[in-house]
Amino acid sequence: MTTPDTSAPQQPRNPLHGITLEAMVVALSDYFGWQELGQRIPVRCFQSDPSVASSLKFLRKTPWAREKVEGLYLFMLREQRRSAR
């Protein structure tokens, strides 16, 4: 008798699978810069004395802001793919 696989399901088509929130914030701040990031997602952690640590603390507590970060991250990936062509 085999035991059921309890590991997370594979998500090969999900571009966010395996990407940490920290990796998203770092990539976005590198790509857009904190100033533009604060304009695109107007939250204090991106606008006033921004840092990865303060952003992570806020985003982990605030689902709507995390969704915006994930959406902007997906947009950034599309833009990077377009510019690589």
pLDDT digits (tens, 9 = 90+) for 38-79: 999 999 999 999 999 999 999 999 999 999 999 999 999 999
* C-alpha–C-alpha distance, residues 47 and 34, integer Å: 7
Number of structural domains (the chain) is: 1
Whether residue 47 is contained in a domain is answered as yes
Whether residue 77 is contained in a domain is answered as yes
Give the CATH number of the domain where residue 29 resides.
Answer: 1.10.720.30
pLDDT at 1: 52
pLDDT at 3: 54
Structural domain boundaries enclosing 53: 21-84
Tell me the per-residue pLDDT of 18-45, one tens digit each, with 9 for 90 and over.
Answer: 899 999 999 999 999 999 999 999 999 9
CB distance 32 to 78 below 8 Å: no
Whether residue 53 is contained in a domain is answered as yes
Tokens representing 58?
A: 């806020």
Would you mind telling me the total number of residues written for the chain in this entry? 85
Whether residue 34 is contained in a domain is answered as yes
Residue 20 backbone phi and psi in degrees, to 5:
-80, 160
pLDDT at 6: 55
